[in-house]
Homo-oligomer: A and B are copies of this chain.
Amino acid sequence: MPEQTRLTLTPGACIGILGGGQLGRMLALAAAKLGLSSHIFAPEADSPAFAVSATHTRAEYTDEAALARFAEAVDVITYEFENVPVETVRFLEALKPVRPGSKALDVAQDRLREKQLARSLGIETAGFMPVASAAALKSAVGSLDTPCVLKTRRFGYDGKGQVSIRKPEDAPAAWEALGGQPMGAEAPPLLAILEKFVPFTCEVSVIAARGLDGHFAAYDVTENEHRNHILHRSFVPSRLENNVTEAALSIARRLGEALDYVGVFAVEFFVLGAGEEARLIVNEIAPRVHNSGHWTMDGARTSQFEQHIRAVAGWPLGGTERLGSCEMINLIGKDVETWEKILAEPAACLHLYGKTEAREGRKMGHVNRCKKA
């Protein structure tokens, strides 16, 4: 349906959002600011996004009847996380424009294809080898050498689906820990990737957007700190030198183009070394708004959520100008109990996601602290 691929919305239109977590919630709020309504599709009854959208559908991503009704009710469709089944997106694409499309999702869901794409564009990644059996893992550890990290190709997040291998003898246990079968056992293969460990000096990300017209706009490079594999803190400006940030933005642009991307996406990097000689290693591409871009809600001209809505609506991208220096801290699990203290800080901007239960490791909210430039 070529006429649909260029469809642009008018205010009053409805954006369908697959996924009802905090990212879907903040997307729906951004849509409302622009006079658009939203319709959330998610399986979980307590989806935080349901409370801020005009309509929602609670159904499984495999429920084609529900998906068809959802597509009928909306003007354009997007998703808030990359673990939506690609079949769901392909099914919907036949009915309504889905932005970003299944091509980007298909690549970004798979650590192997992600790295292959980067390499094909001449972009540096960690050394890697696909691994689909305990025997293949043994041989891969032999060629990449330790330390390395075994990861599932799909559905990993926040450190889930990965195991470190510090010495070759760890390999069989790592394989089993990830859910693979011991050598010789009969079972559906675990599709994994072995990655060479990168002794990074810091981690950074680029939050970028590509419009329906191919226009590219990126925010300043964000520096990130993780705790227990979960993002803890992001800040801008990063400590990178200008030539390195330029290189990071250029990599994001090339990846966005290669994926025919429409919307906001994130590219996570490991940084090797420091100063002007620092090397950038692409770690992951997230085909969605990203936790390390939450600072843009208070620290940039246009938030990443509004930026994504603009792109998905086929509208011009907003300004990505940074308004000052900014730090974002995630409120994970019981961290959220500090909400009153945060509210009492004059320069803190508190964002809570409306989740009732503060389970360990659960992202409950975040706080941005910004200073004028």
A interface, CB within 8 angstroms of B = 11-12, 25, 28-29, 32-37, 50-54, 301-302, 310, 315-316, 318-319, 321, 323-324, 336, 339-340, 343-344, 346-347, 349-356, 365, 372-373
Contacts and interface: CB of A to CB of B under 8 A. Distances in A.
A52 to B, nearest CB: 5
A220 B53 CA distance: 33
Contacts of A310: 343
B12 A356 contact: yes
Contact of A349 (B50, B301, B353): B301
Copies in the complex: 2
Contacts of A54: 50-52
4 nearest A-B pairs in the assembled complex, by CB-CB distance: A35-B352, A319-B346, A51-B54, A316-B344
Q: Which of A29, A32, A336, A349 has the most CB of B within 10 A?
A: A32
Contact of A32 (B29, B36, B324, B372): B29
Contact of A347 (B11, B51, B319, B373): B319
A307 B50 CA distance: 24
Given A32-B354, A302-B349, 6 more contacts: A29-B33, A32-B51, A34-B352, A36-B354, A37-B51, A301-B349
Q: Which of A12, A51, A310, A339 has the most CB of B within 10 A?
A: A51
A346 B323 contact: no
A241 to B, nearest CB: 24
Contacts of A373: 372
A207 B313 CA distance: 34
8 contacts: A11-B339, A32-B51, A34-B352, A37-B354, A315-B340, A316-B343, A319-B346, A324-B372
A264 B349 CA distance: 18
B301 A11 contact: no
Contact of A365 (B35, B349, B351): B35
B372 A346 contact: no
A59 B301 CA distance: 39
A90 B336 CA distance: 36
Nearest to A319: B346
A323 B321 contact: no
B52 A32 contact: yes
Nearest to A315: B343
Nearest to A336: B11
Nearest to A316: B344
A53 B355 CA distance: 16
A34 B32 CA distance: 16
A315 B34 CA distance: 28
B352 A11 contact: yes
Nearest to A25: B32
Nearest to A51: B54
Contacts of A323: 323, 372
Nearest to A37: B51
B321 A35 contact: no
Contacts of A336: 11
B356 A343 contact: no
A346 B301 contact: yes
Given A29-B29, A343-B316, A372-B323, A354 B35 contact: yes
Given A11-B339, A52-B54, A319-B346, A351 B33 contact: yes
Nearest to A217: B346
